[in-house]
Amino acid sequence: MYDLTGKVAFITGAGRENGIGAAIALRLAEEGADVVVTDICASPTELPHGGNAAWEELTAVSQTIAATGVKSTPIRLDVTKAAEWETAVAQVKEEYGRLDILVNNAGAAIGPAPILHMAEKAWRKTLEINATGTFLGCKYALPLMLAGERGGRIINIASIAAERPRPFMSAYAGSKAAVVALTRSLAQEVGEFDVTVNAILPGDIDTSMKQWGMMLEGVVTGRTQDDVADALVQRIPAGRLGVPADVACLAAFLASDQANFITGQAYNLTGGRELS
């Protein structure tokens, strides 16, 4: 276990109960951190990618976290909007007075398609959420993190797609590769301030967004969603899909003092899928 008592964590894309962000938030809370959870809280028609949460879901996640005995605040946040980042960080400063851990988890795959048929709007929106959203998170959270002169932890959730891209996912893969590059660059900028910056590259994790993706793949390939899932598992040496708690375990370690000499790294968390 890792003692995060007294620390404050800020996690984006944390509104889905079975999502990676919520799992990380709960795990950090179990380690003693106070946790701010955020999500865009958009309707499926506004952001049709299977991963966004309603406000009621986000507040429910926050209540579950608070039930562990720590403090938690839900905040509606569109990670692509600088002004909303400024407002959210100001709220954290007012309520908590510090920020120690930032997890840039919010992500999306908008309109996956062959390049020849991909809408430019889908390409731009995917990069805006995944890459620009991570950039803005680092830019606006860092001043509060640095102000305490206590160091800090930034954990960026990328994807194995950054290293092993699949067809029709060029925008998603490109945006996640950008997150990895940003991680490695920023780590060199802030290392002297005892701030570490690392990335986690999940593989096939069983979330609502993953189920949505498997459903789409089934429609395109003429298979059932179960057939798509079975084919994925056959490529994973561990013999199963990952679960959000798998990602949360690594995030908790990277957020802890035990990882204070690890920075600029990108960790594959795939059950060995990239080896097959």
Q: Give residue 59's pLDDT.
A: 96
Residue 275 pLDDT level (bands cut at 50, 70, 90): confident
Q: Give residue 47's pLDDT.
A: 54
Positions marked active-site: 172
Q: 168's torsion region: left (phi>0), alpha (psi -120 to 50) or beta? A: left
Query: Mean pLDDT throughout 128-136?
Result: 98
**Residue 157 in this model has a pLDDT that exceeds 70:** yes
Q: Say if residues 253 and 31 touch (Cβ distance below 8 Å).
A: no
Helix (H) or strand (E) holding 215: helix 208-221
Q: Give residue 52's pLDDT.
A: 63
Alpha carbon 225 to chain centroid, angstroms: 24
**Residue 44 in this model has a pLDDT that exceeds 90:** no
Share of the chain above pLDDT 70, in %: 96
Q: What share of residues in the chain are helix, strand, coil (percent, to 5)?
A: 50, 15, 35
Q: Which three-class secondary structure state does DSSP give residue 74?
A: strand
Give CATH for domain 8-205+243-275.
Answer: 3.40.50.720
What pLDDT digit, counting tens, does each position of 92-107 carry? 999 999 999 999 999 9
What pLDDT digit, counting tens, does each position of 194-240 carry? 999 999 999 999 887 878 777 877 777 778 888 777 888 899 999 99
